[in-house]
């Protein structure tokens, strides 16, 4: 087995251990906020080849680069709509919750239709991903756009199987790694976080296989900024399924899975608060 293959197995096993512990201890299936696992993943992302670290079958850096490129290209969009890395971190958290919902409750009727006009979808998915990216990402979860109701994504019955449920756990972990990547890049960019040119350049450097520090060094050279490097930091439920638009100030939105409390954390990294 290759090192990358073993790393994939270890990451998913650690993620599953966190999930089981959280369900037993807290009765909750929220996206991962476990400090120990987050620290371990952050260390992996800092030191690893950017593309090699994301080894769970999701082309994370490509999705990020395409999303950020739309921010740079569409200069007419208001700044508050161009959410960049911060918006991506939140969007990946929404996707992580959606994958966890299907992994834990694939039989639940309320998860069979994602409504693209729901508050969560409108606030956190549409401003970040293109129509094609939305089709691809939700296609990985087993959804397909309804031919008669274009603003709905329907779960395809043929996708539901024991193997698919296991695949969803790996996909949940991949989305978790993706939002960790976004937050690390925001941290290392410091005061330049939120600026489209900086964000897309550092993601492109990560795509080349650079470690986090090397990607930052290259980005600084590309934008011709002569200043000390930003030090790497020391590491010491949202509802897609109902019709109601939700206030952005809401802390949580219940999914009401049996046994497990389910609400997607609306935690947003401090660095992003002002841009949202």
Task: Write down the pLDDT at residue 162.
Answer: 86
Angle at 90 between CA 57 and CA 151, to 5 degrees: 85
Using alpha carbons, list the distances in angstroms from residue 179 to 158, 176, 185: 29, 5, 10
Task: Write down the pLDDT at residue 176.
Answer: 97
Percent of the chain at pLDDT above 90? Answer: 59
For the segment 59-74, the average pLDDT, to the nearest whole number, is 87
Tokens of 218: 């290259």
Task: Write down the pLDDT at residue 19.
Answer: 93
Encode 51-68: b = buried (16+ Cβ within 10 Å), e = exposed: bebbbbebebbebbbbbb
Please say if the pLDDT value at position 276 is more than 90.
no
One DSSP character per residue, 6-36 reads: HHHHHHHHHHHHHHHHHHHHHSB-PPP--HH
Please say if the pLDDT value at position 26 is more than 80.
yes
Torsion of CA 85, 153, 104, 136, to 10 degrees: -50
Task: Write down the pLDDT at residue 239.
Answer: 75
pLDDT, averaged across the chain: 81
**In terms of Cα–Cα distance, which of 78, 84, 74 is closest to 183?**
84
pTM of the model: 0.80
CATH of the domain at 40: 1.20.58.2190
- Write out the residue range of the structural domain in which residue 148 sits: 3-275
Please say if the pLDDT value at position 43 is more than 60.
yes
For the segment 151-164, the average pLDDT, to the nearest whole number, is 90
Please say if the pLDDT value at position 55 is more than 90.
no
* Overall number of domains in the chain: 1
Please say if the pLDDT value at position 72 is more than 50.
yes
DSSP letter at 275 equals: G
Please say if the pLDDT value at position 229 is more than 50.
no
DSSP letter at 234 equals: P
CA atoms within 13 A on the CB side of 119: 13
Please say if the pLDDT value at position 258 is more than 70.
no
Beta strand 152-155 pairing with 113-115: antiparallel
For the segment 108-125, the average pLDDT, to the nearest whole number, is 95
Task: Write down the pLDDT at residue 56.
Answer: 85
């Amino acid at each position: 087995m290759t090192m990358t293959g073993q790393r994939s197995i270890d990451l998913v096993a650690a993620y599953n251990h966190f999930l089981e512990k959280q369900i037993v201890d807290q009765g909750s299936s929220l996206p991962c906020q476990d400090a120990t696992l987050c620290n371990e993943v952050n260390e992996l992302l800092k030191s690893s080849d950017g593309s090699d670290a994301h080894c769970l079958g999701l082309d994370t850096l490509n999705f990020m680069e395409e999303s950020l490129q739309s921010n740079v290209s569409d200069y007419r969009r208001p700044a508050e709509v161009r959410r960049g890395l911060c918006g991506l971190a939140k969007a990946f958290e929404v996707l992580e919750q959606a994958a966890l919902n299907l992994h834990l409750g694939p039989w639940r009727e309320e998860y069979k239709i994602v409504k693209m006009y729901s508050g969560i979808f409108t606030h956190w998915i549409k401003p970040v991903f293109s129509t094609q990216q939305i089709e691809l990402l939700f296609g990985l979860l087993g959804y397909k756009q309804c031919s008669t109701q274009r603003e709905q994504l329907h779960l395809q019955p043929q996708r539901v199987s024991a193997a698919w449920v296991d695949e969803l756990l790996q996909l949940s972990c991949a989305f978790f790694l993706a939002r960790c990547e976004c937050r690390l890049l925001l941290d290392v960019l410091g005061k330049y976080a939120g600026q489209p040119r900086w964000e897309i350049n550092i993601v492109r450097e990560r795509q080349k296989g650079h470690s986090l520090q090397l990607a930052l060094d290259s980005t600084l050279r590309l934008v011709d900024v002569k200043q000390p490097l930003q030090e790497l930091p020391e590491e010491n439920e949202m509802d897609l399924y109902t019709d109601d638009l939700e206030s952005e100030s809401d802390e949580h939105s219940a999914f009401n899975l049996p046994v497990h409390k389910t609400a997607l954390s609306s935690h947003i990294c401090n660095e992003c608060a002002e841009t949202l």
